[in-house]
Structure 1
Amino acid sequence: MNRIDRLNAILIHLQGKKRVTAQQIADRFDISLRSVYRDIKALDEAGVPVIGEAGIGYSIMEGYRLPPVMFTSEEAQSILLAGKFAEKFTSPTVKKQFESALFKIKAVLRATDKENIEKLEETVLVMGPVSGRYEGENKYLSDLQRAIIDKKSIRIDYQKLYADKSDRIVEPIGLCYYAGAWHCIAWCTLRNDYRDFKISRIQSLEITDISFETDRHPSIKEYIERMRTEETLREIVIRIKKEMMPFIHQHKYYYGFVSEELLGDYVRITFLNGFPDTFCRWILMFTDKVIIESPQSIKNTVQALCKTLHQHYSAS
């Protein structure tokens, strides 16, 4: 960050709090205390009414207001992602307030940035709650947003679970948050089909100069709906004894946890899962403590696994 940007950021920081110490400013911007004192002096000389109280900190004189803040495209995109979570997991009142704040933010954006935000809104989908577990870094989330907006193919080095890394060139069509992690849905030129890439497993990413047309791809919502229709992604509903919940608290996110509700001695849990065999093997560990509500195909798979298990141990 250059000094002009830092001075502006310090001013915003001061106006956002009642009082800020020099050490807090130094920690916030990773600068020395000497640099803080120089920056405060520069703001004062520029006519900003900074009040400094020895041993207490700095504040801005009551009544002073900054001109409208200009957001960068990246900052606006980050706020949009936060808004997607607010829309899904907050109360109607908070949702309405956030929408109002986002509208004001859009009002101060440049025309091109407004257009980019509108494009991005259609390509981001949040489908499940935020998990408390660590899913690895999502350091390429911002790059993926840029590639989607600019309609550029990306080259990724992707690490599949328990498999070798593979080099892919893909056309990203959208970002989706489900099963406790961010995923990039993209057309894979290697597989000649759409693929779901967990962003935390992307080892490296490069935005290429290769453009692609979005018209030939479905929207992120259309893709997810297609997966549900084809049962590539299916909704699974189970009831599990309440005393079992501590044993599945974190594991449920790996299997596409969507929601849960308390029903007496049971908890009804809804999942969105694309690997039914793996899911069935997981819930078998809870034996008679779990009831499968739907779909019938999951019940059939569990019954078949139980029969195989019985034959296996009978033979032993």
Structure 2
Amino acid sequence: MNDHYLKKLDRVTAILTQLQSKPIVRAQDLAKKFDVSIRTIYRDVKTLENAGIPIIGEAGSGYSLMDGYKLPPIMFTKEEVLSFITAEKLMQRFSHESLGNHYRTAMEKVRSVLKYSDRNLLANIEKQIDIFDNYPKTEDKIKNIIPTILESIAEKVQISIDYKAVNEEISTRTIEVVGVFFEFNFWYIIAYCTLRNDFRQFRIDRILKLTKTQTPFLQEYGQINDYRKKPNGNKTTVKLLVDKKIMGHLGNSKVYYGLTEEKETKKGFELTFETEWITDGFPRWLITFADYAEIIEPEYLKITMKELIQKVSKNFYA
């Protein structure tokens, strides 16, 4: 069998896997995924149909398997089996508790369909992989909170939450969730808040109570990244000129404080931030490397920094 037919066999098998795992598969997406023409995808689908696979749909609209049609379990490659155990280790360290429990049961099902040799492979290798995480774990206040939030997105219904802000103030909000994301060891929601009539970000471990309502929302919000990239009206633009020698020590902290642009110049790196913490959090972070940084704008940040440095000086040189 020549290389052309081997590639086609691999591609047709992968297309079948896509059909098993998704409700609708578009030819355009498959062509992009496998880097072939749409016409080639049409021929591959025809190959599956000729093999007796009941595929519903047509070119231009998308394909799916006939409802109720079952295929034998798919066999995993050795590389895929090894990737499972690596993913499991990552989930143990970085997943929210409500997700981790479901992932463990899913992995038990995956293990049950593995070949005996692959089960032995997992058993022998899983103790040789570890993920070291020094962040403290957040406590689950509500069981299955993330699955419930994801259900509200899928069903397009509002949820009601009791939320404790960073200043300890508790408020009740009705929100329409756009999506969830993980950043700097915390899970967050981006949602439309009916109280504020605007989009807001909520840290999931600060939700004290959550109720999925029966009230639907009709608005199509799009993808979560569309909202994470949008500037917030409460943010302040800050520009710093930072010495090159300190850049390696800033790590992810510069992203946490709202980095939007990083440009190298002859004098150093010009960093642009969009920050909500201009009065307190940002100046206190900046003071940790202030001897290697120059404030370009805003002017009042220079005044804030002078006042903060004077306050610190009084505490140590009283």
**TM-score normalised by L of structure 1:** 0.47
With CA pairs under 8 Å and 6+ residues apart, which has the higher RCO, 1 or 2?
1
**TM-score normalised by L of structure 2:** 0.47
